[in-house]
Structure 1
Amino acid sequence: MNILVISGGPRKHGRTAIAARFIERTYGFHTVDLSIVDMPMYTGEEDQSSNPFVKSLRQSVLDADAVLLLSPEYHSAMSGALKNTLDFLSSTQFLYKSVGLIAMAGGGKGGINCLNNMRTVMRGVYANAIPRQLVLDPSVFDYDRDGLNREAAEQVDGLVEELKMYARIAKEVKEQQLI
C-alpha cells in the first residue's frame, strides 16, 4: 500500500522528524520532510504550479492510497510549514483520500488543537481524516535511538493499521463505482 507521510515539523532534529523517520523505517513509507525541502510561500499565484517541488508533491499525494500528516503543535495549531504546504494542495489530490493525523505535544498543551486544526483543513479539501488520531508527548521519544518507546510504537501501529483499513475500503468503493 502506498502511504505518503508528510512530516510538517520545520526543525530537522525535532520530535516530528524523529517520529517521521521512525515511521519510515518501520513501515517503509515514503516521507516528504518539510524541514529539508525548499517549499515556497503559498501566494495563490498561478505560476507557483510550475514549481518542480509543488508539481512533485501534488503528484505524490494524488498517487498515494493514503496520507499520514505529522505536525508539532505551535500556538494551538499545526505548524506554519505544514499549513503552507497543504495550501498548495486541494480536493484534486485529497478527494475521499484517507488521512491519518499525528501531533507532537509540547509546552504542556497536549496537541489536541493541532489535531483539530489538521482535521479542519482535511475537511476543507474533502479528505477523510480517520477517527483514530494520536498525540505523542515528549516523554515517549527514544532520543538515543531516534525513535519511539514501545508503548508509543504500538499506538502508531494501531493508527497505521486503521489508516490502511480505511484506504482499502476507499479503494473498494472507488473500484465499484467505476464498474
Structure 2
Amino acid sequence: MTTLLGISGALRAQSTNTMLIRNAAALFGADTFVEADLRFPLYDGDIEETDGIPAAVQTLADQIAQADAVVISSPEYNKGISGVLKNALDWVSRTKGAPWAGKPVAIMSATAGRSGGERAQTNLIATLVPFGPTIILGSEVLVGANYEHFDATGTLTNDINKAALADLMQRLKATL
C-alpha cells in the first residue's frame, strides 16, 4: 500500500496549486492520498520555547515521515515560494527526527504569471536541500496563466502540462 502526501503552498479553496496536487495524485495512483493542512501560526522561537511544536506541525511532520512520496505545488509570490509554504517548512525543520531524509519529492507550480513558477521551484529546491529529500528533477511542471488551464472540476486541461505531470509522476513512482 502506497501513501502519497500532497502539499499545496496555497490556502485558497479554489487554489490551482491544490488542483495540481490532486491531478498529480490521480496520475500517481497511490492507495492513499493525504492533503496537508498548512494553517499554522507563524514560526516564532518564543512560541516553540514556551508551548513546544504545535500539534498541527507535528501532524505534518508525521505525515511526511509516513508517506512513501510527497508532491509539493507552490504559487510564485514575489519571485519565491509562498509564505505559507516557507512557514510550514521552517516549522517542520524544528521537529524531532528527519522526516524529509531520503523522501522522494516531486515539485510543481501553478501561477498566474507566464513563467509558471520557475523561480518558486528554484527557491523551493534550495529550501528543501538541507533536509535531505530525494528531489525528482526534470519534467518540470510549470503551469503559467493557471486560470486558463483547469476546467470547472479542477482537471488540468493543457496537454503539454498534462504530459509533463504524467512523466513527473512516473518518475516519482519509479523511486519506490
Question: Which band: TM-score by shorter chain?
Answer: 0.7 to 0.9
Whether the 8 Å contact between 1:9 and 1:16 is mirrored in structure 2 is yes
Letter aligned with residue 161 of structure 1: Q
The TM-score normalised by the length of structure 1 is 0.81
The TM-score normalised by the length of structure 2 is 0.82
Counterpart Cα distance in 2 of 1:89 and 1:33: 13
Residue 12 of structure 2 aligns with which residue? 11
Task: Choose from 122, 127, 130 the match for 1:124.
Answer: 130
Whether the 8 Å contact between 2:102 and 2:133 is mirrored in structure 1 is yes
Q: CA RMSD of the aligned region, Å?
A: 2.0
Counterpart Cα distance in 2 of 1:141 and 1:92: 36
Question: Which whole-Å deviations, capped at 9, do the CAs of 1:82-123 have from their partners, x for residues lacking one?
Answer: 110111123711111111000113233441110101100110
Counterpart Cα distance in 2 of 1:25 and 1:164: 12
Residue 52 of structure 1 aligns with which residue? 55
Residue 165 of structure 2 aligns with which residue? 156
Counterpart Cα distance in 2 of 1:67 and 1:140: 26
Residue 71 of structure 1: CA displacement? Answer: 0.5
* Correspondence 1:41 to 2:50: no
Counterpart Cα distance in 2 of 1:158 and 1:105: 20
Q: Relative contact order (alpha carbons < 8 A, sep ≥ 6): 1 or 2 greater?
A: 2
Letter aligned with residue 8 of structure 2: S
More strand by share: 1
Residue 30 of structure 1 aligns with which residue? 34
Task: Choose from 136, 141, 155 the match for 1:147.
Answer: 155
Corresponding pairs, count: 163
Residue 139 of structure 1: CA displacement? Answer: 6.1
Counterpart Cα distance in 1 of 2:56 and 2:4: 18
Counterpart Cα distance in 2 of 1:42 and 1:127: 22
Counterpart Cα distance in 2 of 1:110 and 1:21: 18
Whether the 8 Å contact between 2:21 and 2:71 is mirrored in structure 1 is no
Whether the 8 Å contact between 1:17 and 1:33 is mirrored in structure 2 is no
Residue 25 of structure 1: CA displacement? Answer: 4.8
Instruction: Give the secondary-structure state (helix, strand or coil) at the position aligned to 1:93.
Output: coil
Unaligned runs of 5+ in 1: 169-179
Question: Which whole-Å deviations, capped at 9, do the CAs of 1:130-158 have from their partners, x for residues lacking one?
Answer: 11231112266223222101623332121
Residue 31 of structure 1: CA displacement? Answer: 1.2
After the TM superposition, which parts of structure 1 deviate over 6 Å for at least 4 consecutive aligned residues?
none
Question: Which whole-Å deviations, capped at 9, do the CAs of 1:63-94 have from their partners, x for residues lacking one?
Answer: 11211111101111111111101111237111
Task: Choose from 107, 114, 128 the match for 1:101.
Answer: 107
Segment drifting more, 82-91 vs 69-78 = 82-91
* Correspondence 1:86 to 2:94: no
Unaligned runs of 5+ in 2: none
Whether the 8 Å contact between 2:116 and 2:142 is mirrored in structure 1 is yes
